[in-house]
Amino acid sequence: MRIAILTALAEDPDHKGRKRAFRIFAGRSILSHQLDCAIDLGCESVACLVGGLGQDVIACQHRAEAAGVRFQAIEDIRRLSGVVKADDDVLVIADGLLPAADEAVRLLGERPVVPTFPVDPALALGFERIDGERAWSGMLRTRGQSVERLSDLPPDADAASALLRITLQNGTRQMPLDPALLANGDWLLRADSATLLAREKRWISGRISPVSFAAPGLATAERIGSRLARDVVGTRLERIPLLAAVAMGVLAALIAALGKPLVALSLGTAMAVLLPIAGVIQRLARIPRNRTTRLGVDNSLRAGADLLLVALVALTIPVEGPAWLRLFVPAMLFGLLRLGERLTGAGATQGRAASWRALYADRIVLLAVILPAAFFGFAQLACAALSLLVLGSLFTTDTEERGLTAD
């Protein structure tokens, strides 16, 4: 079994009475992010040394259980020897460490190792010295037999530091890390608030990859979601934007059934605003490796929202001829937009700038055009004109793709 040992005992020097591991990063405690890292590394159980069961520890316990991982809060270091067996694989993360998760998985995913940094600048940043040239990175992987020796230590001993010394005595190899991780603020131990905030902004940007303002509605909504996530991720308010979007969609369908298509389309527009906000929050809150099914903004929900919007737009079009005819034009428009998303998605993943093509996914701007047109009775004309524009842009996209391929 692979077990992670975490610690939440060190005091935060910037906030008296608060533990360093409970500092907030992207809406959740650093301890919660350490838990995510342990889950990414395949840990099936987590033992956390704490001074008592507080709200932050309980939140981590719930998060671990949701991912199918056992979580044990332990107050005495000597109890670790009863939790870990000699043949277990043990991951140790130092108190308050905020590592670069991808780099940690790459280094510790295969065999026992002690990652290190050069003493300069690691020592000045709070990392523990190993010898004259190297300092401990704050993470290591060892065998369970090392933990058995902790039973001989006093109850107030530093478990992580003790396991470091025991692991090194056992001859576990050391692996140097790139000092740029420290220089760039991507591997933090005792960071000040400004450094932590800068890392948080980079981390959020890396997780959500917000679109450019060439798609102004979607770009604005995603940035609102990024800011809101810092306050609601990890709390009971986390799912409120998603539930509100779903409620708006259901309410829009009910209002449309009562013969109020314009009001229903307005509610559909509110749903379109809330969905990307909820999507950002869900991506930042998602449990690692997607071990559990969560209510989230995935392709199925977006497709359902598009089908609802097609129906709502169609209901605002006066019936002239067969009833299905008014459904055809908005269905064609949304179909072309989704086709545009698929055609340009591959180019974006290959590093090409999407620029204005992000508009294919911007339902907020789309409805900002269609809703006023529907109010004045020109919804069908607006949808037809937009369909022609999208169709023309798809030919432009195809031409550019051929040109890039030829080059």
DSSP string, 145-205: HHHHGGGGS-TTS-HHHHHHHHHHHTTPPEEEPPTHHHHTTSSBSS--HHHHHHHHHHHHH
Mean pLDDT of all residues in 8-34: 85
Mean pLDDT of all residues in 32-55: 90
Instruction: For 111-150, write each residue's pLDDT tens digit.
Output: 889 999 999 889 999 899 998 899 999 999 999 888 888 8
Which CATH superfamily groups domain 2-195?
Spore Coat Polysaccharide Biosynthesis Protein SpsA; Chain A (3.90.550.10)
Look at residue 256 in the predicted model and tell me its pLDDT: 95
> Residue 352: enclosing H or E segment and its boundaries?
none
The two three-digit tokens of residue 314, written as one number: 């169609």
Look at residue 19 in the predicted model and tell me its pLDDT: 87
Question: d(Cα 262, Cα 372) in Å, to the nearest integer?
Answer: 10
Global pTM reads 0.75
What residue spans define the domains of the chain? 2-195, 209-406
The fold of 209-406 is Four Helix Bundle (Hemerythrin (Met), subunit A) (1.20.120)
Question: d(Cα 235, Cα 232) in Å, to the nearest integer?
Answer: 5
Look at residue 194 in the predicted model and tell me its pLDDT: 86
Instruction: For 369-389, write each residue's pLDDT tens digit.
Output: 999 999 998 999 999 999 999
Instruction: For 47-99, write each residue's pLDDT tens digit.
Output: 999 988 888 899 899 889 888 899 999 888 888 878 888 888 999 999 999 99
Long-range contacts of 324-328 (CB under 8 A, 24+ apart): 326/380
- Pure H helices in 11-123: 30-40, 55-66, 80-83, 101-108, 119-122
Would you say the CATH fold of 209-406 matches that of 2-195?
Answer: no
Q: β-strand 28-29 against 24-25: which pairing, if any?
A: antiparallel
Look at residue 332 in the predicted model and tell me its pLDDT: 94
Question: d(Cα 383, Cα 313) in Å, to the nearest integer?
Answer: 9
111 in helix, strand or coil? coil
- Is pLDDT of 293 > 50? no
Instruction: For 237-282, write each residue's pLDDT tens digit.
Output: 888 999 999 999 999 999 999 999 999 999 999 999 999 999 888 8
Question: d(Cα 300, Cα 244) in Å, to the nearest integer?
Answer: 17
Q: How confident is the model at residue 108 (pLDDT cuts 50, 70, 90)?
A: confident
